[in-house]
Structure 1
Amino acid sequence: MLYAIAFSPWILYAVIPAVWWQWSMLAALAISVAIFVSAVARRRPVAAMIIEIGSMVFFAAGTILALGDPDTALHPYLPAISALWVGLIAWFSLLVRNPFTLGIAKLNQPPEVWRQPLFVRTNVIITAVWAICFTVGAVLLAACAAGGAGRGLVIVVQVAHFIVPMVFTFHYVAVIRKRVARMRAAAPTPPVYSGQYTGSR
């Protein structure tokens, strides 16, 4: 699943102990670069690599900060900043009417369905859910940092704001597939969006 691969640097960064945060930043940067290079080698369009590009930018900046100022006062707030960064990417993609899930969805759907209202609307909704989860995650993580919450709670919040939208994604896809199946059964039409937008191969 392409989403799991795209977000793997963030999950890695979340689970590595905070005491090793310099190395978690460096490892996440290395993975994000590797994912991006692999995607370019497969000639994926830029619209399908929004998260990968955003990941490289964040972890490159984070690595510079971690190695240049390992005792920075920003350290406790970096989980919140990372969630906010990904949330901003998602919100911006909606603002410019190019939801980041849309580019990924197109990889597994024929061009004739790309402009169909159901296909576009599905990706708008899914991207919005991801954006909301990232934003809520950023707020909760900022509160954890300000309140001195334990590392365990921080990890739970970090993982949850990825898992929740993923679960929604699978559930919503199932709903869309059933709807499309009913549409086809009622009145055969030209190819319509099948609901398979997740990037699985």
Structure 2
Amino acid sequence: MLKYYGLTFLPWITLAVVADIDDRAGAAAGLAVALAVLVLQRRSGQPWGAQILECSTAVYMAALTAFAVSAPDAGILKYGAALAIGWLAVTAWGGLAIGRPFTEGIARRDVTAEVAATGLFRSIVTVIAVVWATGFTLTAIALACVQHWAPHQTALLIAVKVAGFAVPAVFTARYPEAARKRHFAEHGIDEAAYEQAR
């Protein structure tokens, strides 16, 4: 599952790296990667419903590119990192609010339709989405503070960005197995027998 998250977040990583040199170039590079990811996902057969975050990313990158080109000296661009992560937070919380966590589409790629129809699967992807949404929110706030009071502290900015993605990623890698084992133990399900039956 983590490889899909890596691909999904590649436009944001591109934006973060290139925007440190130039806002317009960063936005354009992020948009190019976002569109490439969408094309790649569609060619691999992924439905639009499984690409909530990818579509949201492309919209943000297009809007940011247009704004950065038309108003390159706008003061709000100095908060670019916080705005980008804030957009991810809005997307994640919005998906949860309408009952479509962005994590569901990603997680469905690794499970059968039968597994995806279970309450356990739904619970796991929802918890993971909440963790990502919370991580995005806290990271956006932290980045806004750093960009306001210590904008030249590049190492601190990078550390906040890395932590903002690393903590939810580690949780995402570990939580599903732990949740499944806990669910089996609570319901008296023999895990080995379950795996053989699948």
Contact conserved, 2:11 with 2:30, CA < 8 A, in 1? yes
Corresponding letter in the other structure for 1:151: T
Residues 30-179 of structure 1 aligned to structure 2 (within 5 Å):
30-149=32-151, 150-179=153-182
Write the distance in 1 (CA, Å) between the matches of 2:62 and 2:197: 42
Contact conserved, 1:9 with 1:55, CA < 8 A, in 2? yes
Corresponding letter in the other structure for 1:42: S
The DSSP-based 3-state class of the residue aligned with 1:27 is helix
Deviates more, 1:29-38 or 1:59-68: 59-68
TM-score relative to the length of structure 1: 0.87
1:82-130 superposed Cα distances (whole Å, 9 cap, x missing partner):
1110011111111111111111211221111222111100000000000
Q: Which has the higher contact order (CA 8 A, sep 6+)?
A: 1
1:156 CA drift (Å): 1.7
1:43-85 superposed Cα distances (whole Å, 9 cap, x missing partner):
2112210111011011111111111121111111111111110
Deviates more, 1:183-192 or 1:166-175: 183-192
Give the aligned partner of residue 184 of structure 1. Answer: 190
Counting helix residues as a fraction of each chain, which structure ranks higher?
2
Corresponding letter in the other structure for 1:184: D
The count of aligned residue pairs is 192
CA RMSD of aligned residues (A): 2.1
The DSSP-based 3-state class of the residue aligned with 2:144 is helix
Deviates more, 1:13-22 or 1:107-116: 13-22
Write the distance in 1 (CA, Å) between the matches of 2:159 and 2:192: 45
Deviates more, 1:130-139 or 1:36-45: 36-45
1:13 CA drift (Å): 1.5
Contact conserved, 1:9 with 1:31, CA < 8 A, in 2? yes
1:155 CA drift (Å): 2.0
Write the distance in 2 (CA, Å) between the matches of 1:14 and 1:189: 42
Unaligned runs of 5+ in 2: none
Contact conserved, 2:27 with 2:61, CA < 8 A, in 1? yes
1:184 CA drift (Å): 3.1
Aligned-residue identity in percent:
34
1:161 CA drift (Å): 0.9
Give the aligned partner of residue 197 of structure 1. Answer: none
Corresponding letter in the other structure for 2:165: F
1:185 CA drift (Å): 3.6
